[in-house]
Structure 1
Amino acid sequence: MKHWLIGLLAVLLCFGTGCGTAANEQIQEEVTKTAEEIRLETIEKKIHSMSVEEKIGQLLMADFRSNLDGSGMTVLRQDVADSIQGYHLGGVILFAENLDTLEQTQILIQEMQNAAKTPLFIGIDEEGGLVSRLKKSNIPHQTMLSPGEMKDPKEAEAAGKSIGETLYSMGVNVDFAPVADINTNPDNPVIGIRSYSDNPEEVAGMVCAFIKGLQNEGISATVKHFPGHGDTKADSHKAEVFVTHDLERLKAIEFVPFSKAIEAGVAFVMVGHIKTPNATTDGLPATLSSQTIALLRDDLKYNGVVITDAMNMKAITEYYSVGESVVMSVLAGVDMVLMPGDIDEAYQSLLEATKEGRITAQRLDQSLHRILGLKYDKGLL
Structure 2
Amino acid sequence: MTLPQLAGQVIVARYAGRGAPVDLVRRLHLGGVIAFSDNVSAPSAAAAANRTLRRAVGRPLLIGVDQEGGLVERVRGGATRFPAFMAAGAADDPGLTRAAARASGGELAGLGFDVVFAPVADVTSGPGDPTIGSRSPGSDPDLVSRHALAAARGLAAAGVVPVVKHFPGHGSVPADSHRVLPVQRRSLARLRQVDLRPFAAAVDAGLPAVMVGHLDVAAVDPGVPSSLSGPVLTGLLRGRLGFDGLVVTDALDMAAVRDRVRSRAVGTRALRAGADVVLMPRSPAAARAGIVGAVRSGRLPRERLEEAATRMLATLGHADRVRPRPTAPGSGAAASRRLSAAAVTVVAGPCSGRLVGDGVRVRGSDPAQVATFRAAARAAGLPLGAGTNVTLLGRGADPVRRGVAVALATPYVLGRSRAPVRIATFGSTPGAMSALVQVLLGRARAPGRLPVEVPGVRAGC
> TM-score by structure 1 length?
0.81
The correspondence for 1:379, drawn from 320, 323, 328, is: 320
1:232-247 residue pairs with structure 2 within 5 A? 232-247=173-188
Once the two structures are TM-superposed, the CA of residue 265 in structure 1 deviates from its matched residue by 2.6
Unpaired runs of 5+ residues, structure 2, are: 322-461
What is the percent sequence identity of the aligned residues?
A: 34
Which residue does 1:307 correspond to in 2?
A: 248
Of structures 1 and 2, the one with the larger relative CO (CA 8 A, separation 6+) is 2
Q: Distance in 1 between matches of 2:194 and 2:154?
A: 24
Verify the 8 A CA contact 1:128 1:145 in the aligned structure 2: yes
One-letter code aligned to 1:115: A
Q: Contact 2:181–2:257 (CA<8 Å) still a contact in 1?
A: yes
2:302 paired residue among 343, 361, 368:
361
Amino acid at match of 2:149: C
* Matching residue's letter, 2:280: M
1:66-95 Cα offsets, whole Å, 9 max, x none, are: 3xxxxxx2223xxx4222012111110001
User: Which of residues 87, 109, 118 in structure 2 aligns to 1:149?
Assistant: 87
For the pair 1:290 / 2:241, whether they are aligned, the reply is no
Shift of 1:117: 4.6
> Does residue 1:92 correspond to 2:33, yes or no?
yes
User: Contact 1:88 / 1:118 at 8 angstroms: preserved in 2?
Assistant: no
Asked if 2 retains the 8 angstrom alpha-carbon contact of 1:220 and 1:267, the reply is yes
Query: Map of 1:129-278 to 2, 5 A cutoff?
Result: 129-135=70-76, 138=77, 140-150=78-88, 151-152=91-92, 153-277=94-218
- In the alignment, structure 1 residue 74 sits paired with structure 2 residue 74: no
Aligned partners of 1:233, 1:179: CA distance in 2, in Å?
17
Task: Give the C-alpha shift of residue 219 in structure 1.
Answer: 0.5
Report if aligned partners of 1:296, 1:302 keep a CA contact under 8 Å in 2. Answer: yes
Q: Deviations over 1:197-216 (max 9, x none)?
A: 10000000000110111100
Q: 8 Å contact 1:128–1:144 — kept in the other structure?
A: yes
- Corresponding residue number in structure 2 for 1:30: none
Describe the superposition over 1:116-166 as per-residue Cα deviations: whole angstroms up to 9, x where unpaired: 25321110000011211123xx2x332211111222222311221111111
Conservation of the 8 A alpha-carbon contact between 1:146 and 1:194: yes
User: Could you tell me how far apart the structure 2 residues matched to 1:195 and 1:104 are?
Assistant: 30
Question: Which amino acid letter does the alignment assign opposite residue 102 of structure 1?
Answer: P
Aligned equivalents of 1:348, 1:300: Cα separation in 2:
32
Kept after mapping to 1: 8 A contact 2:36/2:65: yes
Q: Distance in 1 between matches of 2:60 and 2:46?
A: 17
Counterpart check, 1:51 vs 2:31: no
Query: 2:258 — aligned with what?
Result: 317
Q: What SS is found at the alignment partner of 1:378?
A: helix
Partner of 1:14: none
The secondary structure found in structure 2 opposite 1:269 is: strand
**TM superposition shift of 1:58:** 1.2
What TM-score do you get using the length of structure 2 for normalisation? 0.67
Structure 2 partner of 1:63: 14
Bigger helix share: 1
Q: Secondary structure at the match of 2:211?
A: strand
